[in-house]
Structures are given as structure tokens and as C-alpha cells.
């Protein structure tokens, strides 16, 4: 296992980090399943576990908390808040009112007194950076959070947040969590360069592109990834973006074969090869999944292999741009681009 510094914090984290989205109802995993996965990951050198309050409506945090009981100090523990936790319109977003409550709820579910990294799960356009950062800074000073982070923030919002922290003498975000893979390379255009400029750590999620790069999705065969049942629209190859992904996957498979690597090793090796990436978040549901992903821990791709991947999907290009979560409101809300 390799280790890198999370931004400028001095905290060393493994280049493969354990994502907990599949823990609980989403991945149909029990406490015994989760504990076994965490045991195996920690034994292999993984030291960062990333979860969120909305994963299985809090169940993921509860399962993680019980699994790490008695060895809290061995884990760099990260969670996230701001996405909806119920129908109440105030049980979401980046306000002081909600983040204070959301964090306390997460700490209770995890059974800990603090988290190492607390991330705003999505930028909230209705809340100012000063409001969000002021609340998080107070929680940090209270000892409930060690570091502040973001997830799926557009690049310009990362910059604005850094400026707001400077102007108002508040805590800074030290990390960003974007979607990044061979098939979804949009983060290379702005998010990763901005992260590098401001010294932010990057925890890349979905490095296997929701299973497209796991080897479970190939032309002419029945899809075996669990995501195809949960999000069938993302695997319907009659949709042009998915057809483009399938064509790219077939080419990626050839590169992996020529390099003597599994597709998973190639996909994870690609993500952690980027100089702006700190860790790739893996999301295993079974021990077999975890074993296949841990096999990429020491994968180093040659320039020839990386060049070959550039020819399949050009740098900065998302093959399925509609799947991105960091879309500017001006592109999704007509009222923001039309005079009244």
C-alpha cells in the first residue's frame, strides 16, 4: 500500500481508501459483512474510511462505527452531510442550523466524539460560504471535526470557498471529493488543477465508473454489476452516452490485457497516477470485490499505457456528462439564464 499526504494537513492516508456507500441496505450488507470488509482492508494497509449520513439513511455510519469500535485511532474517519435526510426542507443543505444537527447525528451513529474529515456532500446554492464555513469552524474549534472538506464542488465554488475563508478568517476546506475515472475525466479540466493550486487533497470516488470498469460490463454478455439493477438507465446501451462507454470499455480491456493487468488494476492505477489525486475510493460489497481492488494497491502505469488511455477517452472529457453532480445551477435552472 502506498500513502500520500491529505492536502497540506500532514495526515498520511492510503492511496486506496474504503468507501462505505455499499454498507447497509444499499449493498445488502450486514454488520458481520461490514466488519469483515473493514478487518481485511485495515490489514492490507487501508487507513481511511469514508461514509456519509445519507448512505442507507444513516445505517452505513452505524455499521462503520460498530466495526471500528476499540480501534478508532487506527482509522482516518471521514463522513459527509448536507444531502436530504428526510422530507423536511431544513434537514438538508449547508446552513448552520442543519450542519450542527447533522454532525451530532453522525457522531452518535458512528459512536465517536469526533471525525477526522467532515465533508459538505454537495454545494448548497441557497447558503453563503461564510455561513457554512462559520458553522464548520465553530464545530472544528469544539473538537468535533479535525478537518473540513467538500464533495462534488464545481471548481469556481472551491475558489470562492477559499477566498471566503481568507476574508472572514475561517477554517478552510482541505479536500475535495470528485467523481473521476477513465470514462469520466471532466475533473481534469478544472477541479483537479484548482485542487492542486490550493493544496487540496483529492479523494476520487467511482474510480470504477459504477462498475463499468470492473470487467462486469462487456459487449455481448449479461451485466453482472449490482448498479445495473439500482440505476438501469446508466447501463441502457440504447442511450448514446452508454453506448460510447461500452465502446470505450472494450478498448480499455485490450489495453489492460496488453499490459498484463486486470481492468480493475488498470482503472484504479489510472486514477491514483494523477498528481492531483490523493486516494481512490473503492466501494466493495463482498470480500471478493475487496480482494480484486486491493490487488491494485501497488499498480504503477507506464507512460505508454497512460498514453493509450488518452486515445480512448481524451483528457478532460466525460463520456456521460449528464451523470455529473457538479452541474452549475445556471445550466439546470432556466430562470437563471433568462431575463424576466
% of the chain beyond a pLDDT of 70? 96
Encode pLDDT of 156-178 as tens digits: 999 999 999 999 999 999 999 99
Instruction: Please tell me the distance from the alpha carbon of residue 237 to that of residue 233, in angstroms, as a whole number.
Output: 9
21 contacts 177 by C-beta, under 8 angstroms: no
Which grid cell is 144? 468535533
Checking if the pLDDT of 236 tops 90, the result is no
Any idea of the CA torsion for 112, 105, 172, 322, to the nearest 10 degrees? 120
> What are 114-132's pLDDT values in tens digits?
999 999 999 999 999 999 9
Annotated catalytic residue, options 3, 55, 147, 180:
55
Buried b (16+ CB within 10 A) or exposed e, 230-242: eeeebbeeeeebb
> 188-204: per-residue pLDDT in tens?
999 999 999 999 999 99
The domain limits of the chain are 3-336
Based on the residue annotation, tell me whether 147 is a catalytic residue of this protein.
no
**What topology does CATH give the domain 3-336?**
TIM Barrel (3.20.20)
pLDDT of residue 227: 59
pLDDT value at 338 more than 80? yes
Contacts of 205 by beta carbon, 8 Å cutoff, 6+ apart: 19, 151, 177, 178, 179, 180, 281, 283
Cell 441496505 sits on residue = 25
The phi, psi pair for 272, rounded to 5°, reads -80, -5
Amino acid at each position: 500500500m502506498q500513502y500520500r499526504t491529505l492536502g497540506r494537513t500532514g495526515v498520511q492516508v492510503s492511496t486506496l481508501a474504503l468507501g462505505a456507500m455499499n454498507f447497509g441496505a444499499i449493498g445488502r450488507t450486514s454488520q458481520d459483512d461490514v466488519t469483515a470488509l473493514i478487518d481485511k482492508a485495515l490489514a492490507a494497509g487501508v487507513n481511511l474510511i469514508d461514509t456519509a449520513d445519507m448512505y442507507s439513511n444513516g445505517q452505513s455510519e452505524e455499521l462503520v462505527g460498530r466495526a471500528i469500535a476499540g480501534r478508532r485511532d487506527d482509522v482516518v474517519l471521514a463522513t459527509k452531510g448536507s444531502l436530504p435526510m428526510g422530507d423536511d426542507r431544513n434537514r438538508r443543505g449547508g446552513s448552520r442550523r442543519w450542519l450542527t444537527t447533522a454532525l451530532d447525528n453522525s457522531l452518535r451513529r458512528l459512536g465517536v466524539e469526533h471525525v477526522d474529515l467532515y465533508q459538505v456532500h454537495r454545494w448548497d446554492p441557497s447558503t453563503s460560504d461564510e455561513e457554512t464555513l462559520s458553522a464548520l469552524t465553530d464545530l472544528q474549534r469544539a473538537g468535533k471535526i479535525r478537518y473540513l472538506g467538500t464533495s462534488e464542488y464545481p471548481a469556481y465554488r472551491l475558489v470562492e470557498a477559499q477566498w471566503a475563508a481568507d476574508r472572514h478568517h475561517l477554517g478552510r476546506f482541505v479536500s475535495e471529493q470528485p467523481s473521476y475515472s477513465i470514462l469520466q475525466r471532466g475533473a481534469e479540466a478544472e477541479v483537479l488543477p484548482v485542487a492542486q493550486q490550493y493544496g487540496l487533497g483529492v479523494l476520487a470516488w467511482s474510480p470504477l465508473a459504477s462498475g463499468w470498469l470492473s470487467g462486469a460490463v462487456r459487449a455481448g454478455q449479461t451485466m453482472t454489476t449490482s448498479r445495473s439493477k439500482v440505476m438501469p438507465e446508466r447501463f441502457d446501451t440504447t442511450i448514446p452516452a452508454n453506448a460510447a462507454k461500452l465502446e470505450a470499455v472494450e478498448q480499455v480491456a485490450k489495453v489492460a490485457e496488453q499490459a498484463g493487468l486486470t481492468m480493475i488494476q488498470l482503472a484504479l492505477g489510472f486514477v491514483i497516477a494523477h498528481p492531483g489525486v490523493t486516494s481512490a475510493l473503492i466501494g466493495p460489497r463482498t470480500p471478493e470485490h475487496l480482494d480484486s481492488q486491493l490487488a491494485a494497491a501497488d499498480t504503477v502505469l507506464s507512460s505508454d499505457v497512460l498514453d493509450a488511455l488518452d486515445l480512448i477517452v481524451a483528457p478532460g472529457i466525460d463520456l456521460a456528462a449528464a451523470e455529473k453532480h457538479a452541474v452549475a445551477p445556471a445550466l439546470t435552472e432556466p430562470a437563471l439564464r433568462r431575463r424576466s
